[in-house]
Structure 1
Amino acid sequence: MRIRIAATIGLTSLIVLAGCGGGTGPAAAEKSGSVTGPVTVFAAASLTESFTTLGKRFESTHPGVEVTFNFAGSSALATQINEGAPADVFASASPKNMAAVADAGTPATFVRNQLVIAVAKGNPKGITGLSGLTGPGLKVALCAEAVPCGAAARTAIDASGVKVTPVTLEQDVKAALSKVRLGEVDAALVYRTDAKASAAAVDAVEFPESAKAVNDYPIVVLTTAKNPGGARAFVDYVLSADGVRVLTEAGFQAP
């Protein structure tokens, strides 16, 4: 099956955690014949590359399943779900946005992520930390504070004691990173995983204050899931050894 990515509408302890979602393992579900049909996954934009890979692998071992993804900012996804958008699984970039979803059930934290400063290849502005984002004429992109990457950026900036004035506030981390890729800004605070995925186009500058703003990512089978068996199997697969491997290779950290 080919994975379809929907347009936006508006990692061994980890395996144990999968039980928090009330699911049975993928093997058990497959044996019972319950893993079939469409599974709709709403996931934070920063999970795009990793989840696309996991979705393809999940489909290859479950021929009766088709996974559809809706990637966007976690706050937007939470709003969409609360407004009735059909989703089976929600993977958020922060517990706050997960908690905002009335039908979230009991989520499990499956990875963590940390910020870096994304700059153009070769770091032409010589940025070495947050203080380098305050230079005259330097253009910086941040995520809006309602979005997990924006809230993390604000926490890190406040911890640094410097004042960063962004020229734009984006609704998800991919949009903030795109501003750097297109040369519209000199730097952006993005997740380490997103910078790694775009390593051919940008460089990542690590900064110490990012350790004060690490985001936990929870995942859950929604109580309103139309395909709860398929959804539980997908969540269990994300929490499996194969899922852990894909996510850590992308730069995510174990919780």
Structure 2
Amino acid sequence: MSRSLRAVALFAVAALSLVGCGSGDTGASTEPTTTSESAAPAITGDVNVFAAASLTESFTQLGKDFEKAHPGVKVVFNFAGSSALATQINQGAPADVFASAAPKNMTDVTTTGAITGKPVTFVTNTLEIAVPAGNPAKITGLADFAKPDLKIALCAEQVPCGAAAKKVFQAAGITAAPDTLEQDVKAVLTKVQLDEVDAALVYRTDVKAAGDKVEGIEFPESDKAVNEYPIAVCAKAPNADGARAFVDYVLSDKGRDVLTKAGFGAP
């Protein structure tokens, strides 16, 4: 081969090599684009989750699963009535995540700037009548809550389960006669479990979590008060990376599976 032909051949090979590397202007690369796990922020330390009392069992399980997926991380829960949790967060409590049993309590913290991101509704829940095992008072429906001779427990109105109870009583045209008003749904459920009341209104998930300690009675007006549960990362989260990772886990297929098994409905 002559010197000139050899030069032409070398030029052609070089040109083909440049085309094979590609650029942003010549189309997509032939190699798949993936994000390396090492590029994600390392999650360490405690993740402080403020969650509605009705999430106790399901979130406790999610916390254990999350810790297994992220060795070295500990999820610390504060379970209480959503209104109390909102107050704590607004007063500067070091929360990373807030999961409320109703949008109103989430609004209480977004309006103050304690949460600046957009909350995501992740589950729904409805009320159910809870009675002690064996139903000794022979409760049959929502109308029994108006009988003064029966001992009745409800959530206080400022708590999501109490606000929901008010809605269902209004829908049914019933004036309830409660003997005690509690600050979260677990306190109401405890009254039933200890046989201190004849009936109470709690979430269907709480009845399910109590097992054979209580019996649940469904009632048609429950669909008049469907509670939506929003979750969000707090604006001043001490562990923002951990908070975002935990919220993502709750919203993942694994998280939804745990919540569905607990009796929560889809958003």
TM-score by length of 1: 0.87
Which of the numbers 44, 52, 65 marks the counterpart of 2:52? 44
Which of these residues, 244, 253, 259, is aligned with residue 232 of structure 1?
Answer: 244
Matched, 1:198 2:210: yes
Task: Report the AA paired with residue 246 of structure 1.
Answer: V
Q: CA deviation at 1:36?
A: 1.3
Counterpart residue number, 2:95: 87
What's the secondary structure of 2:46's corresponding residue?
strand
**Which is further off, 117-126 or 61-70?**
117-126
- The aligned counterpart of 2:227 is 215
Once the two structures are superposed, residues 63-88 of structure 1 have per-residue CA deviations (whole angstroms, 9 ceiling, x without a partner) of 12111000000000000000011000
Matches within 5 A, 1:1-255: 32-101=40-109, 102=112, 103-105=114-116, 106-255=118-267
Seen in structure 2, the aligned counterparts of structure 1 residues 221 and 198 have a Cα distance that, compared at 3 Å, is: same
Residue deviations 1:75-102, cap 9 Å, x none? 0000000001100000000000000012
User: Shift of residue 32 of structure 1?
Assistant: 2.0
Look up the match of 1:18: none
Indicate conservation of the 8 Å contact 2:41/2:241, yes or no. Answer: no
Using the TM superposition, give the Cα deviation of residue 116 of structure 1 relative to its aligned residue in structure 2, in angstroms. Answer: 0.3
Q: Deviations over 1:180-228 (max 9, x none)?
A: 1111110110000011100220000000111000100000001111111
Distance 1:210 1:176, change over 3 A: same
SS at structure 2 position matched to 1:109: strand
Report the CA distance shift for 1:30/1:88 in structure 2 as closer, same or farther (over 3 A).
farther
Distance in 1 between residues matched to 2:122 and 2:52, nearest whole Å: 13
The Cα offsets for residues 147-172 of structure 1, whole Å up to 9 and x where unpaired, read as 00000000001110011110000000
Q: Deviations over 1:118-154 (max 9, x none)?
A: 0011222222211122234101000000000000000
CA contact (8 A) 2:167 2:224 kept: yes
**Structure 2 unaligned residues grouped into runs of 5+:** 1-34
- Quick check: 1:118–1:203 contact (8 Å CA) kept in 2? yes
SS at match of 2:245: helix
Runs of 4+ displaced beyond 3 Å? 27-31
Q: Give the aligned residue type for 1:72.
A: A
AA partner of residue 52 (structure 2): A
Structure 1 residues 175, 181: CA separation in 2 closer, same or farther (over 3 Å shift)? Answer: same
Task: Note closer, same or farther for the CA distance 1:28–1:55 as it changes in structure 2 (3 Å cut).
Answer: farther
Q: Distance in 2 between matches of 1:85 and 1:136?
A: 41
* Contact 1:29 1:35 (8 Å CA) reproduced: no
Structure 1 portions without partners, runs of 5+: 1-26
How many residues align? The count is 229
Question: Structure 1 residues 29, 94: CA separation in 2 closer, same or farther (over 3 Å shift)?
Answer: farther
Greater gyration radius: 2
Cα distance in structure 2, aligned partners of 1:187 and 1:29: 51
Give the aligned CA root-mean-square deviation in angstroms.
Answer: 1.4
Distance in 1 between residues matched to 2:94 and 2:37, nearest whole Å: 22
1:4 equivalent in structure 2 = none
